Amino acid sequence: MRWRALLLAAALAGCATTTSPTGRTQYVGAVSQAQLQALGSQAFAEQKASLRLAPPAQQQYVACVTNALVARLPASWRQLPWETAVFINDEPNAFALPGGKVGVYTGIFRVAHDQDELAAVIAHEIGHVIARHHEERITRQLGAAGVVQLLGALAGDYSQLATEGGSLLAQTGFLLPNSRAQEREADVVGQQLMAEAGFDPRAAVTLWRNMAALGDARPPRWLSTHPDPVSRLRELQGRADGLLPVMAQARQDGFIPRCR
């Protein structure tokens, strides 16, 4: 157990504050970027092993949109080994994990009707990654015991971790609801990113209108901490108008997505 104590001490010693893309103070550093990316990759592999994959045409479509977005990321994020997977699941959901892993459920095609609306979904999820929201959540929410378990998994104790607490996704909290502050931040970052990639930023508005009109008796659990739909649509619309010149410049520069 001594190695766990040493890992915990090292992790907590590395905790620090940083500033988010929208100016929030974030507490990060409970795990290193290398460890965080390893956790994301391991959790993604777990998803691929446990869920059915969609047909190749949908895989290629999602990969095309994701690659167009990744091409406009800063170099430090672009160099990650980005990977996509589409899973057969009726829930209109998507996620992105540290390490450059993007997962989409086939249910998202019920609300994302074209490449621009799909880009709004994926860019939002990538926004969580590049705004370091996963690292922030691990640092602030899991606490000391959680850090020990996570570092234990990376040190080769994954079998015990799985036995004690279920999947690595559950242990990391990667798929738990984000805070409203993080959701707003991912909206800002994602909408900017999609415009820079040549996607229409107004599609973020139509996407959320489609989501609101879906009419499911039980909304996706990941919407539980999202901002109020009315104010969210107002904010998305306000930014969209200001981002139209960004989209136009991107297309003039040759960034013209053609994903079908």
**Residue range 1-12, pLDDT digits in tens:** 443 444 444 455
Q: What is the pLDDT of residue 150?
A: 54
Q: What is the pLDDT of residue 246?
A: 98
Q: For the chain, which residues score pLDDT lower than 70?
A: 1-15, 141-178, 215-229
Q: What is the pLDDT of residue 215?
A: 62
Q: What is the pLDDT of residue 15?
A: 65
pLDDT in tens, 66-89: 999 999 999 999 999 999 999 999
Which of 125, 183, 196, 235 is an active site residue?
125
Q: What is the pLDDT of residue 62?
A: 98
DSSP secondary structure string for all residues of the chain: -HHHHHHHHHHHHT-EEEE-TTS-EEEE-SS-HHHHHHHHHHHHHHHHHHSPBPPHHHHHHHHHHHHHHHTTS-HHHHTS--EEEEE--SS--EEEETTTEEEEEGGGGGT--SHHHHHHHHHHHHHHHHTTHHHHHIIIIIHHHHHHHHHHIIIIIHHHHHHHHS-HHHHHTTTSPPPHHHHHHHHHHHHHHHHHTT--TTHHHHHHHHHHHS--SS--GGGTTSPPHHHHHHHHHHHHHHHHHHHHHHHHTT------
Q: What is the pTM of this model?
A: 0.81
Is position 135 annotated as part of the catalytic site?
Answer: no
Q: What is the pLDDT of residue 56?
A: 98
Q: What is the pLDDT of residue 177?
A: 53
Q: What is the pLDDT of residue 158?
A: 34
